[in-house]
A and B are shown apart, each in its own frame.
Chain A
Amino acid sequence: MFALPKSLSPLRCALWFLLALAACGPSIPREQVSRANAAYDAVAERSDAMLATLSVAERRTYMRTLVATGAAREGDIVVPTVFDPTNAAYFSSVGDPVLTASLRRGMGLVGDYFKLLVILAEGRNVDEAKGQINTLSASVAGLITVATGGAALPLAALARQLGPLLDRWGQAQNAEELRRLVLEGEPIVREQIKVMQAASTTVYETLTREPMRAARTTLADNDAARRGAFVQMAEAQVLVADYVVLLDKLADTLTALAAAVRSPGSPPALASLSASADSALIQARAAAGAIAILKAGRAP
């Protein structure tokens, strides 16, 4: 608790208390958010290459199973005798087959999560939201004019006057929301990462199915071509291994971010609180005047 100087007026005391509360509220671990987002970008870039190859491999494996179960075939063109809509993804030109689609969706959602944290950490949403308040205040001012038949209240001007306080409010709300999303989201995102890592076994199997089959059958008597198939499998191994390792790094940054949210930095020094209090006091007095005018429902 801070000791209050005796000379403070009640308004200043109240403001001091509010600022102390705000100062002790959640701070934004911008560095950890930035690192986590960068880690996501790294794995997303690497997985894009893997998913593009996986999409083709998945389709071709499915087509081979059609042939094995009696689908009509002319050369390398395979068509099912009956169209099953549940397998449409394997034939569609506008989407991915099921495994690739699920991995892409999972990666996309993880990306959305970290992008959202960045928006909250950097306060990119505050200006846009303030614009909405200005628009809304103009509409309400118009309504009041119609209802009272009097002069329009300068609500848009009043909202602009509240601008600096709105900035602080917005940042505080962002910090709170970021904290909530990190604490609630950590186990969910971690689970998502774990499931996508576990999928690496299946991804590897799918990527290597065709070259492995070729090495054992059509290329069995051609040493050079067979070696090419093995090179292809080795490349798949590197793709998948990179994917798993980068997901591990992403999980580590998530852990660091959650730890930073749980244990924010120590409260600011008294002197900096005082400086903030003076500046905010001026703003608060202006805002109090504006709010009084608003409540009275009359023009200033």
Chain B
Amino acid sequence: MSGEDARRTLNAMSEALVAQRKAATDPAVRQELAQQIVAIEDQLDALAVLNAQATAQAISAASMRLEALLATARVNPFDPLIQKAFKGAADRVVQRADAASKAFAVEEFEAVEPEAAPAPALPEATPAPAAPAPAAPPQAAAPPVPGDDGLPPIARGNTLAQLAEDYTLCWAACRIRPEKRADVEKAADSMLRGRKRYEVVSARSGTVPWQVIGIMHGLECGYSFFKHLHNGDSLAGPTTRVPPGRPPGWNGTGSWEDSAVDAVRLKFKGITAWSLPQTLLALESFNGFGYRPRGVRSPYLWSFSNLYTKGRFVADHVYDPESVSKQVGSALVLKVLEERGLWP
């Protein structure tokens, strides 16, 4: 019997007993009937409370969708204009400051030639190269591939201890390619449109920065809020690709934020401090560490910068050294956010 039916039946019973009591003359019978009516009314009260709670949940679910829409509202009409018009001026300031400092260094100090270090032998390509999957097996203490372009050498490993210094050096050396600047800015703009929703997920997840969530959203879902953040599968059902069956118990009625909280908790479990190296490690881990043994910096992080030229996994376990990534590196989006004062 449904809740509605139960209430109808109980109400009908109560009314019938009220009529009987009214017609009864024996006090004992009237007393007995009164007690039965109270018992039914107690049940009706309990059903009313349960019904109110269930109705509240349905209203809240609809409200979350409306709240999410309002979070995307752009009430400053000049946001894109400000970024474009004034950012150019800020870039020129930075360039002039860089040029001035270099000129000062050349004038004041003699150039010192670094000692030519013996080039370590490059390791042979392993027969089963790591695929672009998370958590490639840790490498042994192999010497880092030397950089022949003045850039930091490419470090091996997949842990924070092994790669922290590498990330710090790469970040300092990273320059967005001028011809790709517009693409990187556009990627950052796309990401920022969902900022308020990422902040909601960040707050609910506890520690994951909204910037990381936004970048992850772009990489996994192309910024669509109709897809699971885990892997871009449709929100209509639980995920089917890796990781499958997420979120647990998902029946397609939850919000993107509900799914996203599950995704970030799963992906970033145990991470409580988000330093720059930790952030870059987390981002590189999405795609795996399979580029490092090949002497290539991950395009997932550095594509469209001076740190990446070519080479990518075109399919699982299939590496093409000549293929060039056409996706904006996630570290570059972070760079633009830093320029705009939005990170860290």
The B151-184 residues at the A interface (CB cut-off 8 A) are none
Docked pose: A136 CA to B78 CA in angstroms: 12
> Chain A contacts of B63 at CB under 8 A?
102, 105-106, 109, 192
Report if A105-B60 is in contact (Cβ < 8 Å); known contacts: A112-B70, A169-B78.
yes
A126 (CB) vs chain B CBs: closest residue: B77
A164-178 residues at the B interface, CB under 8 angstroms: 166, 169-174, 177
A61 contacts partner chain B, Cβ-Cβ < 8 Å = yes
Q: Which of A129, A188, A199 is B58 in contact with, Cβ under 8 Å?
A: A199
Q: Which of A44-52, A62-70, A229-237 contacts B (4 or more CB under 8 A)?
A: A62-70
Contact A110 B77 (CB under 8 A): no
CB-based contact B78/A177 at 8 Å: no
B41–A217 CB distance below 8 A = yes
Which residues of chain B are within 8 angstroms of A38 by Cβ–Cβ distance?
none
| Contact partners of A173 in chain B: CB under 8 A | 74, 77-78
Assess whether A154 is interfacial by the CB under 8 Å rule: no
Residues 36 to 83 of chain B near chain A (Cβ within 8 Å): 37-38, 41-42, 44-46, 48-49, 51-53, 55-60, 62-63, 65-67, 69-70, 73-78, 81-82
Q: Looking at chain B's contact residues, is the secondary structure mostly helix, strand, loop, or mixed?
A: helix
CA distance A64 to B51 in the complex (A): 15
Min C-beta distance of B78 to chain A, whole Å: 5
Closest chain B residue to A184 by CB distance?
A: B69
Q: Interface size for chain B: under 10, 10 to 19, 20 to 34, or 35 or more residues?
A: 35 or more
Q: A119-B75, A191-B62, A220-B21 are in contact. Are A101 and B56 (CB under 8 A)?
A: yes
Q: Across the interface, do B82 and A99 meet the contact criterion of CB distance under 8 Å?
A: no
Residue A92 is within 8 A (CB to CB) of chain B in the complex: no
B92 interface contact, C-beta 8 A:
yes
Whether B45 pairs with A68 at a CB distance below 8 angstroms is yes
Contact A125 B77 (CB under 8 A): yes
Pick the residue among A62, A116, A195, A217 that contacts B73 (CB under 8 A).
A116
Task: Select the stretch in A3-11, A16-24, A201-209, A259-267 that faces chain B.
Answer: A201-209
Residues from chain A with a CB closer than 8 A to the CB of B89 are 140, 143-144, 155, 294, 297
Chain A: residues with Cβ within 8 Å of the partner, total of 65
- Of B18, B41, B56, B74, the residue contacting A98 (CB under 8 A) is B56
A192 to chain B: which residues have CB within 8 Å? Answer: 62-63, 65-66
B67 contacts which chain A residues (CB < 8 A)?
Answer: 109
Q: Is the interface of A mostly helix, strand, loop or mixed?
A: helix
Cβ contact within 8 Å between B75 and A116: yes
> Known contacts A99-B52, A112-B70: does B44 contact A213 (CB below 8 Å)?
yes
Q: Compute how far the CA of A137 lies from the CA of B46 in the bound complex, rounded to whole angstroms.
A: 63
Q: In whole angstroms, what is the CA distance A155 to B82 when docked?
A: 13
The answer, among A113, A132, A170, for a CB contact under 8 Å with B70, is A113
Chain A residues with Cβ below 8 Å from B75 are 116, 119-120, 125, 177
* Residues in chain B near residue A101, CB distance under 8 A: 56
Cβ-based interface call for A227 (8 A): no
Knowing A106-B62, A140-B86, A181-B69, the reply to whether A206 touches B52 (Cβ < 8 A) is yes
State whether the Cβ of A189 lies closer than 8 Å to any Cβ in chain B.
yes
Of all chain A residues, the one with the shortest Cβ separation from B73 is A116
A156 on the B face (CB < 8 A):
no
Nearest B-chain residue to A62, judged by Cβ: B49
Interface assignment of B342: CB less than 8 Å from any CB of chain A: no
Cβ–Cβ < 8 Å partners of A144 in chain B: 89, 92-93
> Which residues 85-99 of B have a CB within 8 angstroms of A?
86, 89-90, 92-93, 96-97
Interface contact B70-A102, CB-CB below 8 Å: no
CA distance A116 to B66 in the complex (A): 13
Using known A-B contacts A148-B96, A191-B62, A217-B41, determine if residue A209 contacts B78 with beta carbons closer than 8 Å: no
13 further contact pairs, Cβ within 8 A, besides A125-B76, A196-B59, A220-B37: A65-B46, A68-B46, A98-B56, A116-B70, A119-B75, A137-B86, A144-B89, A170-B78, A202-B48, A206-B52, A209-B45, A216-B18, A220-B18
Q: Hey, which bits of chain A sit against chain B, CB under 8 A?
A: 58, 61-62, 64-65, 68, 97-99, 101-103, 105-106, 109-110, 112-113, 116, 119-120, 125-126, 129-130, 132-133, 136-137, 140, 143-144, 146-148, 155, 166, 169-174, 177, 181, 184-185, 188-189, 191-192, 195-196, 198-199, 202, 205-206, 209, 213, 216-217, 220, 294, 297
Write 25 A-B pairs (CB below 8 A) sorted by A numbering. Answer: A99-B52, A99-B59, A102-B55, A102-B60, A103-B59, A106-B66, A109-B70, A112-B70, A113-B70, A116-B75, A129-B78, A132-B82, A137-B86, A146-B93, A169-B81, A170-B77, A177-B73, A189-B66, A199-B59, A202-B48, A205-B48, A205-B51, A209-B48, A213-B41, A216-B37
